[in-house]
Amino acid sequence: MTGIPIGRLSWQTEITEDAYTTSASGSGSGLVGVLLSGEGTVVTRGTISRGQLVPASVTSDVKDEDGNTDLRMTFEDGVAKLLTAEPPPKPDRVPVTEAHRIGVTDPLSAMLIPVVVDGDFLMPENCHRTLAIFDGQRRYNVALSFKRTGTIKVANGYSGPALVCGAILQPVAGHRAGSMLVKYVAGRRDVELWFAPITGARFIAPIRVSMPTLIGTLEINADWFEAVPTPARVPIEPNAARR
């Protein structure tokens, strides 16, 4: 932000024919603390069904303005269920109800967008969706819409076309109604998410985020974006263990 580094994030994903694991760890500080701050790790595991990512379990260990949060959560038929003790409701938060946990996904799975069937990743249809997200504490939507296509080059790895989607943050529950993030970011139509293809998989992933703030434009840019093929698994012969 304004040319000053404000944080760092490492995000890794392994995708096979029928399952996936995705994890992210990092921290934000300095100027970004005007809107959000903290550090932690999140891991999601799930399956792939009909080309869609279906989360099964989420673990997270996050330290932010609310303190330390150690969370374990499972998903069954799109319904999020917390396995760890829920913190008592806070009077300054919009209450989260059982209905808010239905038909949702986790933040990491949500941002790995499946490419439309028989389509190119640059097709506008890939942006036309609303992501219903529950992170264990907050329920919100990210409404995506097509803006344009562009090109991007990162220091390590990917160089080529990118799909640019507009993103509107829509808080639903679990948030502070008067927080800086909600007050100045929610509902804005000038937030952009840039997506690049994951080689070897029918998914695209964020490679750049641009978000205006009170003190300048916050940009999150990948300095490394690379897809590495998973080594093929060699079948084990029935008698191999006895040789």
Confidence of residue 178 (pLDDT cuts 50, 70, 90): confident
List the domain boundaries for the chain.
7-226
The confidence score (pLDDT) of residue 37 equals 62
CA dihedral 180, 182, 188, 194 (to 10 degrees): 90
Give me 206's structure tokens.
């964020």
- Please say whether the beta carbons of 117 and 88 come within 8 A: no
Q: What confidence score (pLDDT) does residue 231 get?
A: 61
Q: 108 φ, ψ to 5°?
A: -70, -45
Structure tokens at 21: 């694991």
For all residues of the chain together, what is the average pLDDT?
A: 85
Query: pLDDT by residue (tens digit) across 92-133?
Result: 889 999 999 999 999 999 999 999 988 899 999 999 999 999
Q: Which amino acid is at 120?
A: D
pTM here is 0.85
pLDDT over threshold 90, residue 212: no
